[in-house]
Amino acid sequence: MFNWRFVTRALGLALLAIALQAHAAVVSDTEEASAVQVPLADSLATQSADAPLSEPVAVLSAAAQNVIQFFESVPGAKAVEEHLREAAELHGVDFYLLQALIATESGFNVRALSNRGAVGLMQIMPTTAARMGLSGDKKNPIRKKLQDPQTNIQYGTKYFATIQNMFTGRLDLALAAYNAGEGAVQRAGNQIPNINETRNFVKKVTDIYTSLKARALAQILPGTPVAEPAANTAVSLPPVPVIQ
């Protein structure tokens, strides 16, 4: 007689193994940015005191909940999710990392324009987009093309993938280079440049990324300890000019 009880138990163990592998991958991603000294909450994730031990409950910190609420309340975040997933898969960049980048750069404002001329969601300079292969003409210059969310995300992700490969295994340096330029990181001896804006950028993106990954992990493995962002992490719309 076929032993269905054995098969059911084996399937359960297999699913548990897959979930644990996902947890290990998240921990690895978090450790990748170990050079960034981000203070973590003393309690990474706790089980409710009132919950039975047999029913673990994942609890995200107030800082993480602040980040999650931001993504749930900003219409632009949901509107470009499909474009983000496509770019993430095409260029091999973590989907949650792209979300964190855009939240920090533009607050998902597709019409954002920096004082330096960086355009759109991922705040791409037209010269950088040109390096990545985007061309324009008098009728449709690169600056105008970058106002399209899908175009902006594709070329912004392609650029980030390029610098991520340049600084393999150092997410903190890739983020620093995205903010200050590859040259600035190299001139600093392959360290985060001593620029307040850049250091704050690296920390904020890392904190938001950690929150998003924590939520994803909590959904996979309720009750599993997860890394949390700094207690003072807050997400708000960046004060950048808007294209008229």
Q: Which residues are catalytic?
A: 105
Backbone angles phi, psi at 119, to 5 degrees: -115, 140
Please give the structure tokens belonging to residue 51.
């919950």
Rounded to 10 degrees, what is the CA torsion of 13, 15, 19, 25? 100
Helix (H, G, I), strand (E, B) or coil at 64: helix
One-letter amino acid at 74 equals: V
The rounded distance, in Å, linking the Cα atoms of 44 and 30 is 13
Count of CB atoms within 10 A of residue 230's CB? Answer: 17
- In this structure, which amino acid lies at residue 70? F
CA distance 99 to 108: 9
